[in-house]
Structure 1
Amino acid sequence: MLKNFWYAVEFAHAVTRAPTKVTCLGQDFVLYRKRDGSVVCLSDLCVHRGAALSAGSLVGDRIACPYHGWQYEPDGACAKIPANPEGRGIPKKARVDSYPVREQAGLIWAFLGDLPAEERPPIPAFPEHEDPAFSTVYVDMVIEANYERTFENVVDAAHTPFVHGTRFGNPDKPQIPDYDITEDDWSAVADIRLSPPPARGLWKRLYKERPAEVVVTNGWYLPNIVKLHVRLPFGDMILYDHNIPLSRDRTLVKIVGYRNFFTGRWADRDARKRIRSILLQDKPVVESQRPELLPYDLPDELHLRSDALQVAYRRRRQKLMADGWWVGDDDAAVAGGRAGNAAVIPSPARRENPELARAWQHRARGADPRPRERTTEGESE
């Protein structure tokens, strides 16, 4: 899992004034809208006793912990401790991580890392979202597999005739012609020629004759997005597939789908059904893959020319891992914080204020906490 990227953590229409729990990189966050409509993303872990803030309530634009009523500002700083007598100050370390947020292309994006704004990788462009010629649908599904396996599955054109032969691929013509990749630091895209299956259902009405091939633009955008653009004889279908790592072996796939044919709302149900059926075909295959985690070294799995997009991803991944962008054991909350360290992905505030770099972390070791050395500030602030 990679940190220091913008992650689409929820559909924008699902975030309201009610606190909402989301999970990414194996850790929990709480989202809510302020009174002006902008979105807040905080670590879902009260610094006091580790209660879930998502189970709390809003007081103006603050979120109140359900356990002891501590109120946190949108920037993560604690503004009120109800148990404190009048006049008693609030410790500087009484805060939770707050993450930069953007609302873009129908999604809520949170920057999960501590890089300053000028060093952050970009959010990909989604031009279809603002194009009135396209209709939009939203689909999600949990897959019991590592997110890099689900991610590479969508990038992989060669599996379509076998896994999706009745809907997307053509088992009679499974060959993948060689293709060229356009690549930069954050993405890789290619046009791939595929032989399509016969049209079925509602789409059959628009087919005059079956084309010999269709051009599919397939590509990835770091850290976890795959674009699939199918040019059909009667229009364009474009899917952006967001593979959200709930944990190392569980992925929430969120898809935003666009089409410029059958654009009436009456056709949305059919569009969602088609997308979901594709996911259901992929699901058992991806869940059966071994090893569960993507190998680090390229030679650990055999690669062909048709795997060029996946190989490009793995090479870029190796570089980012070497640069320290990988979420390791020290970053991850084990078993949801019930055992081991309940740590969180560092937010920009930790880098901006070195004094707080290792503040507000819980370090319980199961049922037998290790004693820690007292600091000069004491432990009862």
Structure 2
Amino acid sequence: MWLAVASSKEVSARPVGVVRLGKEIVFWRDTTGKLNAVKDLCVHRKARLSAGEVVNGRIQCPFHGFEYDGTGRVKLIPALGRNHQVEERFAIEAYTVTEKAGMIWLWVGENNLQGEPRFFDDIDENFAYAEFKELWRVPYPRAVENQLDVMHLPFIHKTTIGRGNRTLVNGPVVKWIDENEFFFYVFNEIDNGQKVKKPEELNIDLSRVYLEFIFPNTWQNHITNSIRVVAFFVPVDESKTMIYLRFYVRATKIKWLDKLIATTGMPFNKKVLHQDKRVVETQEHDIRRDMLVQGDLPITEFRKRFFKEKNFAEFFYGRSSVTKER
């Protein structure tokens, strides 16, 4: 599967070292602007390539000048001379990456490369956006599930998007588009003693605000046709997640003005995110120990898909992760 791992604007001519899914990776661009990604460790004396520089499109180790191309092969060992034919064993792991929607995507898994990354079809180049990122000290599943949680709004966000004390949760309704993408709709209301409605008892108004998730790590809040909040939940390791938050605007259709509106509106989105972070970072990391209720339906649906991807789930919870969670 394709996994969004970084913002394209973070990588220019200089090497950039990151940790993603526990892998130490270095990104750089060659002379044509093409993105490359290899293991961030020189085969020679194990120095970090990300501490080096890009020379003629290759990444150069800062220790002894070994130069690597995008396939991970050492193409030059300066001490042996430019005419020396470097043996094939001087190589490191290279990663398959691509770019879409201003993000860098990493191919994860042992299967052959399939298709291209998926993003939201209704967000195009006519939108402008502001972007923010921060590290959360929680596993990727916890970070994702926070944005699928419709029950927490009147508590965590009671001063922002959860105003109104709508604590009673009807449904919610989850609508799968295919095996990797679903919409979900919120029907929260003030509790006046009425009975909670089940999802099948609710009529979906397709014009209402909805939320959307594309497995494994892309989410959007479809506020209006012209205003969206998008998040990418990037697994750093078993216990940390980097969140990339974007505020998309297409209000005036004047790109620079929409960019200004997005930038001006970003502090509010950050405030909402930080309200979440304060509580989510207190959660126990193992999601299998939770006891879910009807209002957690989007989370339940996510977990079905998450645990189906066995190798992915095992990274966070070991081989026992394929057992049924409580």
TM-score (norm 1): 0.71
**1:204 maps to what in 2?**
none
Does the CA-based 8 Å contact 1:144-1:250 persist in structure 2? yes
CA distance in 1, matches of 2:189, 2:249: 20
CA RMSD after TM alignment: 2.5
Q: Are 1:241 and 2:235 matched, yes or no? A: no
> 1:76 maps to what in 2?
72
Structure-1 separation of matches of 2:34 and 2:159: 43
Gaps of at least 5 residues in structure 1 are 197-213, 332-381
Q: Is the 8 A contact 1:105 1:126 kept in 2?
A: no
Give, in whole Å, the separation in 1 of the partners of 2:35 and 2:232. 20
Equivalent of residue 151 in structure 2, options 146, 155, 158: 158
Cα contact 2:169–2:189 (8 A) shared by 1 = no
CA-to-partner distance for each residue in 1:239-259, whole Å, 9 max, x for gaps? 221111222222110012212
Q: Is the 8 A contact 1:128 1:258 kept in 2?
A: no
Q: Does 1:138 align with 2:128?
A: no
Q: CA deviation at 1:294?
A: 2.2
Distance 2:208 2:283 in 1: 28
Instruction: Pick from 242, 248, 263 the counterpart of residue 252 of structure 1.
Output: 242
The correspondence of residues 1-381 of structure 1 with structure 2, limited to 5 A, is 5-84=1-80, 89-118=85-114, 122-132=116-126, 134-178=127-171, 179-194=173-188, 215-231=208-224, 236-261=226-251, 263-290=257-284, 292-295=285-288, 300-321=289-310, 324-326=311-313, 328=315
Query: Aligned partners of 2:182, 2:39: CA distance in 1, in Å?
Result: 32
Q: Do the aligned residues in 2 keep the contact of 1:162 with 1:171 (CA within 8 Å)?
A: no
Structure 2 residue matching 1:140: 3-state secondary structure: strand
Alpha-carbon contact 2:249-2:262 (below 8 Å) kept = no
How big is the shift at 1:97? 1.6
Secondary structure of the equivalent of 2:12?
coil
Q: Structure 1, residues 344-373: CA drift from partner, whole Å, max 9, x if none?
A: xxxxxxxxxxxxxxxxxxxxxxxxxxxxxx
Aligned letter for 1:278?
Answer: V
Partner secondary structure for residue 130 of structure 1: coil
**What SS does the aligned partner of 1:116 have?**
coil
Mind listing any 5+ residue stretches in structure 2 that lack a counterpart?
191-206, 319-326
Distance 1:181 1:86, change over 3 A: closer
CA spacing shift, 1:316–1:265, aligned 2, 3 Å: closer
Matching residue's letter, 1:123: P
Query: Is the CA contact 2:119–2:218 (under 8 Å) kept in the aligned structure 1?
Result: no
Report the Cα distance in structure 2 between the residues aligned to 1:90 and 1:140, rounded to whole angstroms.
40
Cα offset for 1:109? 1.5
Q: Is the 8 A contact 2:128 2:249 kept in 1?
A: yes
Letter in 1 for 2:278: P
What is the aligned-residue identity percentage? 25
Aligned length: 296
